[in-house]
Amino acid sequence: MNEPPTAPGNISLNWNRDGEVYPEGFGRRPRSVGMDARTTITKYYESLRAGDPLGRFFADERSEDDPYVKFGISEHLVGSDQIEAGLRSQTETTTDWAVTSHELQVTEREEHAWFGDTVSMAWTNVETEKRLEYETRWSGTLEKRPADWQFVGMHVSTADQL
């Protein structure tokens, strides 16, 4: 990269890992600070496509909480540790993701948000080299945490006809 630009008053500016510019002395801004719930969901889709780690999008339970739940097409993960392990395994064993959102609907309140979407998904299993494709339905709940919106529940299912 080139030298960081200079702000008015000769304040030095730096780039963070995402190519964003910030004033020197303010450190590296986390990737998603300041996002609304809708942006968090779309960034999750983007991270899934890119094969990036997904655990950061899910909140850790608080001591007073029951374990959080994530349902995938073929999985039922209970608790932050299982969710993190499941997402890590998914990232390690799949590649070439295609994720197309068709009708994302998000309602955001001060501390909570919920969403629904229909999503076309496809990926390749790295062990079998088999390509899998699904039309899916997504729903979930997010909670505003100090730095970001994070999922506290998610459900993904196929839209197969009975």
pTM score: 0.77
Query: Can you list the pairs that 56-61 forms with residues at least 24 positions away whose Cβ atoms lie under 8 Å?
Result: 57/150, 57/151, 58/83, 58/84, 58/87, 58/150, 58/151, 58/152, 58/154, 59/143, 59/145, 59/150, 59/151, 59/152
Tokens of 33: 């600070």
- Rounded to 5 degrees, what angle do the CA atoms 105, 17, 108 make? 20
Report the C-alpha gap between 55 and 69 in whole angstroms: 13
Per residue in 98-143, pLDDT (tens digit) is 999 999 999 999 999 999 999 999 999 999 999 999 999 999 999 9
How far is Cα of residue 20 from the mean position of the Cα atoms in its chain?
Answer: 19
Which residues, given as ranges, of the chain have pLDDT below 50? 1-2, 4, 7, 10-32
CATH architecture of 32-158: Roll (3.10)
Average pLDDT of the chain is 84
pLDDT for res 162: 57
> What is the domain partition of the chain in residue ranges?
1-30, 32-158
pLDDT for res 132: 95
pLDDT for res 19: 40
